[in-house]
Structure 1
Amino acid sequence: MTDGFTSWVVTVAITAFALVLRMYNVSFPRTLVFDETYYPKDAWTMLHLGYEGSWPDAKTANSDIVNGMTGIWNNQAEFVVHPPLGKWIIALGEWIFGMNSFGWRFMSVIFGSLMILMTIRLARRLSRSTLVGAIAGVLLSLDGLSFVMSRIGLLDIFQAFFIVAGVAAVAADRDWFRHRLADHLRDTGKLNLDGAFGPALWWRPWRLAAGLMLGCAIGVKWNSMFVLATMGVVSVCWDFSARRLAGARKQSWWSLARDGLPAFCYLVVVAGAVYLATWARWLLAYPQMRFGTGWAGPVPDPQVQALVGRRLAALWDYHKQIYDFHTGSYMMTQTHVYSANPSGWLIVQRPIGIDAINGIAPGTQGCEAVDDTCLRVISAVGTPTLWWMAALALAAGVVWWIAGRDWRFTLPIVAMASTWIPWFRYDDRPLFFFYAICIIPFTVTILAIWLGQILGPAEDTPRRRMGAAIVGAAMALVALNFAFIYPILTDSLMTRTAWLTRMWFRSWI
C-alpha cells in the first residue's frame, strides 16, 4: 500500500465525524442512567480515596449528584465485581470536567471514536485497501449500539477499544514479521531459507503492543482473556506459516517453541503485568481501607500472605470473591426484563433499554401529541440493517475462510468468536445485548471486506459501476436506518406511536 498519508487523512476525517456525532448533546439526560448508577460513582470515589467507596442508597445518591452534591460518599470500601481500569478512565473525564453527566461520559465518547479509528486501520490492513477501511469506519460510525455505548458511562466501550487495538496490533505483527523474513532473504541474497529456521527476531514491537492493549482490556473486564488466548494461538500459527512459506520446511516446526515462547512473554506475561498495574492504586490504599456492613473485605490467606505479602494476598482473595460472585448461585437465580441470550445477539433479537420516561402528557415537556402521549427512551439497539448484513457477511466469511483458506478472515472471525462464544457457557443467568459491543467492530470489518469484493477493481468498467451502485445502496440503507432510529438512541421526545414504528419486533419492546 502506497497511500499512507492519504489513508491517515481518511482515517482521521471519519474518526472526527464519529466524534462530533457522538459528542453532540452527550450530557443529556443529566441523570445517571442504567448502570451509570455504579461506575461513575465508583470512579469519583477512586479519585478521592484510591478505591471504590460506598454511597447512600442509589435513589438518594443519584438525585443528590444531579443536584451538585457530589461529596456524599463514605470511606467504607464497596464490593465491586470488575477490575479498576475502566473506572479510572471514567475518572479522568470527571477529574477534567467534574462529577456531572458530561464528565462521566466524556471518555466514553473519546474511546468510542478511537475504536472506530482502530477498526479502520484493521480493515485497511487486512484488505490492503484504504477504501475498505473507510467503508468499515463509516458503517461502524452509524451503528446504534456503538453510538449509545459511546455516550454513557459504562465500561464496555473501553474494553471494546482495547480489544480492537490489541487485535489490530496482532495483524500489524504478522506483516512486520513477514517483512523481516523478506529483508533477511534479500540481505543474504537467497531465494528462500532452504531448510534453515531463519532469523530469531526476538524483538517484536507490535506483539508487545498487543500484549499491552489486551492487558488493558482484561483490566476493564475479565472476559477479554479469551481474546488474549486466541490471539496468541493465531499469532504463533502465523509465524509457523510464514517460516514454512519462506522455505524453512521441517525447521518451521521449531517455530512453535522458538517463536511461541517469546510470544507467551510478549502477550501473556506483559498482559499479566499490565493487569496487575491497574490495581496499583488499590494496593497502595489497601492498608487504609475501611470495611463495614456492606462488605467485610478480603481475607488474606496466611500461606499466600507468607509468599507474596499481605496486600497481594488480599488482592488474591478479593479476586476469588469476585469470581464466586460471577459464577455462583446468586447470579444463576437472577432475572432481568432485558436479558438477551447470546444466540440472538447477531440479529439484534433483544436490545436493551438504557433509559425511559413514559406517559408524558400533551402540553407538558414540549409534547404536542394529539390523542396520544409522548415519551423519551434510550435503546441500545444495533442499526438493524447493518447487523443483519454483517451477520450474512460473517456466515459467508466462515465458509470462504474454511473453503478458500483466505487469511484475511482469520483474525476478525476468531476475534469475534472469542468475544461471543464464551458467553454461551453463562447463558443460564442474565446476559445483555450491549456485551455485543465487542463483536460489531469485527463483523463490520468482515462486511467491509465483502463490500470491497463486490466493488471490484478500480478500473472504470461496467463491473465497477455496478459494484459501486450496490455498495452505495448498502451504505445508504444503513445511514437511513440509523437516522430513523436516532430518536430512540438519544432520549429524544417523540409520541408513543412514533416510538412503536421503530419497535420492529415484539421482542424489542
Structure 2
Amino acid sequence: MFLTSRVFRWAGPLAVTLLAAAVRLWNLGNPRSLVFDETFYVKDAWTLNNLGYESSWPEGADVLFAAGQTDVFLSDPSFVVHPPLGKWLISLGMAAFGPDDSWGWRIVTVLVGVLAVVLLMLIAKKLFGSTLLAVIAGFLFAIDGNAIVMSRVALLDNYVMFFALLGFGAVLLDRDWHATRLTARLALAREAGRNPGWGPTLWWRPWLLAAGLAFGLTCSVKWSGIYFLAAFGVYLVVVDALARRRAGLPFWFSAAVLKQAPATFLLIVPVAVATYLASWTGWFVTARGFYRDWATTPGAAWTGALAWVPDTVQSFWHYQVAAYTYHVGLSTPHPYQSNPLTWLFMVRPTSMYYRGSSRGENGCEFNTCSEAITGIGNPLIWWAATAAVLYLVYRLARYREWQVGLILMGLVAGYLPWLLYLNRTVFQFYTIAFEPYLLLGLTFVIGLILPRARWAVLGFLVAALLVSAYFYPLWTGTQTSLTFWQLHIWLPSWR
C-alpha cells in the first residue's frame, strides 16, 4: 500500500511542506501596507537594523513607510515592551529584500511558519512512530487558517510558537536519553552490589541544554516563553520521579526533587537566561536605547547593598520592570480583543486588515467588495481539535499514557497561564503558540480511529481541505464581493 511504502516516507512530508509553502507565499506582498501590529514590529525591526535599538517615528509614518520612505525614523528611543529577537528576525528579510517591499518584511515569518510544519511532522513521527500520522499532523497545520495568517503577517507570535515547539521537541528527545542512561547507571550500581538508594544524578543531558536554548529564544521573542520554560521544567521533574519509581528506587520522589531537579535546573535555566540576555546585545552595545542611561539620572541609582551593581545592569533591570508593569496593567479596550475562556471555541477571531470598495474602486468588479485578513482558524479543524483535547484529559486520567501527558503539557504551557489575565487586553491569535499541541492531540485521536474508520478519517481530511479552500480568500486579503465575505461569518462575533 502506498501510504506505508518507502516512497511515501519522503513524498508525504515533502508534499505537505510544499503545500504549506504555497499557501503562505501566494500573493504575500498583498496588502502593501502595515497591517495590525506590523505597525510596531516592522518599523521596530528596521530601526533595530539601522541603529541597534528601537527608535521613534514621526506622525503618519505608516503611510510614509508603505510608500517607500523608510528612513524617516528619529534617533529618539522608543519604549517597547517585547524583547528584540523576533524583530531582529523580521529585519533579516528587510535587509535582504529592502524595507520598502512588504514581501520582504514578511518573508522570514513565512519561512518560520513552513519550518514549523516540518518540525511538527518530525515531532509527530517521534511521538507516534507513524509516518502517516506525522503527515496528517503536518497537513492539518499546513492548511489551518490561524497558522496561515500568522505566517503571512510580520507579528511576533509565529516565532514564539516555533521556538517553543523546538523546546518541546528537545524535551521529547531527552525522554529516551534520560530513561536509557538512568537504567544503565542503576544496572551498573546493582551489578557492583551497591544499594542505588536515591539513584544517580544525570548531568550529561544535551537535549536539556537544547531545550534551555529553545525556551530562552522563546522568551527572547515574548515573555510568554517563560511559561513554557517553567511548565516543562516541572514536567521533567515529574518524568524523572516516575522513572525512578518504575526502577524500584525507595526514595524516588525525594531523589527527583532534591537530587536530579537542581541538576535539571542548572542545565536549562542558565542557558535560557544567557540566551535572553544575548538577544538584548543591541541595547547593551549602543548608547541610546530606551532607559539606557536611567541609572545615571539624579536619584535613580540603587543605594545601599546594591550600590555596586553597574549602572547598565541597573538600567536594564529598570527597563524590564517597566515592561512588566505595562504588560500586567494592559487593559485598553479593543474591538477585537477576546476572552481566553473562548479561545478554544474560536468565538472572536482577530481582524488584521479590512478594506471595503465600491464598483470601479481599487479594481472592484462588484457593487461592493471586501478585502480581509481575518485570523479565523479552519472551523472544522479547530472544533474537532478542541473536542479531542477534552477527550485526552479523560484519557490521561484513565490510561496515563505518556504521549497524552506530554501533549497536554504543551497546552498547559501555552494556554492555561492566560486564564490568569481575563481582564487584560488579549487576542485570539495568541493561540498560535499552542496550536501545534492542539493538532497533536487531534492527530492522536485520529490514530485511535484510523484502524477502524479509515474512510471517515479520509472524509474528515478532505472536508478540512475544502473548508480551508473556502476560507482562504479571507486569510490572504484577496478581493471578493461583500456577499462572499458575509457568507463566511458563521458566528455573529466573527464580524
- TM-score per shorter chain, which class? over 0.9
SS in 2 for 1:502: coil
What are the superposed Cα offsets for residues 45-74 of structure 1, whole Å, 9 maximum, x if unpaired? Answer: 0111110011012xx212212222111001
Q: Partner letter of residue 421 of structure 2?
A: Y
- Given the alignment of the two structures, is residue 72 of structure 1 paired with residue 69 of structure 2, yes or no? no
Report the Cα offset of residue 198 of structure 1: 4.6
- Given the alignment of the two structures, is residue 364 of structure 1 paired with residue 350 of structure 2, yes or no? no
2:158 maps to 157
2:22 maps to 20
Aligned length: 487
Closer, same or farther: CA 189–312 of 1 in aligned 2, 3 Å? closer
- Given the alignment of the two structures, is residue 508 of structure 1 paired with residue 485 of structure 2, yes or no? no
Give the TM-score, by structure 1 length: 0.90
1:460 maps to none
Decide whether the 8 Å contact of 2:355 with 2:370 is kept in 1: yes
Decide whether the 8 Å contact of 1:350 with 1:433 is kept in 2: yes
Closer, same or farther: CA 6–283 of 1 in aligned 2, 3 Å? farther
- Given the alignment of the two structures, is residue 84 of structure 1 paired with residue 84 of structure 2, yes or no? yes
Q: Trace 1:118-157 onto structure 2 (pairs within 5 A).
A: 118-157=119-158
2:400 maps to 405
Q: Partner letter of residue 504 of structure 1?
A: W
SS in 2 for 1:367: coil
SS in 1 for 2:76: strand
Q: Structure 2: how far apart are the matches of 1:187 and 1:468?
A: 47
Decide whether the 8 Å contact of 1:185 with 1:193 is kept in 2: no
Report the Cα offset of residue 502 of structure 1: 0.5
Is the deviation greater in 377-386 or in 423-432? 423-432
Report the Cα offset of residue 92 of structure 1: 1.2
Report the Cα offset of residue 178 of structure 1: 1.4
Closer, same or farther: CA 248–7 of 1 in aligned 2, 3 Å? farther
Decide whether the 8 Å contact of 2:30 with 2:102 is kept in 1: yes
- Given the alignment of the two structures, is residue 490 of structure 1 paired with residue 494 of structure 2, yes or no? no
Q: Trace 1:170-249 onto structure 2 (pairs within 5 A).
A: 170-184=171-185, 196-249=197-250
Report the Cα offset of residue 102 of structure 1: 1.3
1:393 maps to 388
Q: Partner letter of residue 48 of structure 2?
A: M
Decide whether the 8 Å contact of 1:75 with 1:290 is kept in 2: no
Report the Cα offset of residue 301 of structure 1: 2.9
What are the superposed Cα offsets for residues 375-429 of structure 1, whole Å, 9 maximum, x if unpaired? Answer: 1111011111100000000000000011211111112212212211221222213
1:430 maps to 425
Decide whether the 8 Å contact of 2:54 with 2:289 is kept in 1: no
1:98 maps to 98
SS in 2 for 1:339: coil
Closer, same or farther: CA 251–489 of 1 in aligned 2, 3 Å? closer
Decide whether the 8 Å contact of 1:112 with 1:150 is kept in 2: yes
- Given the alignment of the two structures, is residue 53 of structure 1 paired with residue 39 of structure 2, yes or no? no
Closer, same or farther: CA 76–451 of 1 in aligned 2, 3 Å? same
- Given the alignment of the two structures, is residue 32 of structure 1 paired with residue 29 of structure 2, yes or no? no
Closer, same or farther: CA 396–356 of 1 in aligned 2, 3 Å? same
- Given the alignment of the two structures, is residue 350 of structure 1 paired with residue 348 of structure 2, yes or no? yes
What are the superposed Cα offsets for residues 297-348 of structure 1, whole Å, 9 maximum, x if unpaired? Answer: 67653338733311111110011111111223xx23x211101101111011
Report the Cα offset of residue 251 of structure 1: 4.9
Q: Structure 1: how far apart are the matches of 2:177 and 2:8?
A: 21
Report the Cα offset of residue 194 of structure 1: 7.5
Q: Partner letter of residue 129 of structure 1?
A: S
Q: Structure 2: how far apart are the matches of 1:182 and 1:470?
A: 42
Q: Trace 1:418-497 onto structure 2 (pairs within 5 A).
A: 418-456=413-451, 463=452, 467-497=453-483
Q: Trace 1:282-293 onto structure 2 (pairs within 5 A).
A: 282-285=283-286, 287-289=287-289
Q: Trace 1:246-325 onto structure 2 (pairs within 5 A).
A: 246-251=247-252, 253-285=254-286, 287-289=287-289, 301-303=301-303, 306-325=307-326
Q: Structure 2: how far apart are the matches of 1:184 and 1:327?
A: 46
SS in 2 for 1:70: coil
Decide whether the 8 Å contact of 2:189 with 2:195 is kept in 1: no
Give the TM-score, by structure 2 length: 0.92
Report the Cα offset of residue 21 of structure 1: 2.1
What are the superposed Cα offsets for residues 121-178 of structure 1, whole Å, 9 maximum, x if unpaired? Answer: 2222222222212111100111101100001110000011011111111111111111
Q: Structure 1: how far apart are the matches of 2:197 and 2:131?
A: 36
SS in 2 for 1:447: helix
Closer, same or farther: CA 269–289 of 1 in aligned 2, 3 Å? closer
Identical amino acids, percent of aligned pairs: 37
Decide whether the 8 Å contact of 2:25 with 2:110 is kept in 1: yes
Q: Structure 1: how far apart are the matches of 2:21 and 2:476?
A: 15
Please point out which of 374, 378, 399 is paired with 1:383.
378
Q: Partner letter of residue 139 of structure 1?
A: L
Q: Partner letter of residue 81 of structure 2?
A: V
Decide whether the 8 Å contact of 1:79 with 1:297 is kept in 2: no
Decide whether the 8 Å contact of 2:25 with 2:152 is kept in 1: yes
Report the Cα offset of residue 288 of structure 1: 4.1
Report the Cα offset of residue 118 of structure 1: 2.0
Q: Structure 1: how far apart are the matches of 2:308 and 2:265?
A: 24
Is the deviation greater in 63-72 or in 478-487? 63-72
Structure 2: runs of 5 or more not aligned: none
SS in 2 for 1:375: strand
Decide whether the 8 Å contact of 2:32 with 2:66 is kept in 1: yes
Q: Partner letter of residue 439 of structure 1?
A: F
Q: Structure 2: how far apart are the matches of 1:323 and 1:127?
A: 39
Q: Structure 2: how far apart are the matches of 1:122 and 1:53?
A: 39
Closer, same or farther: CA 314–146 of 1 in aligned 2, 3 Å? same
Q: Structure 2: how far apart are the matches of 1:494 and 1:408?
A: 43
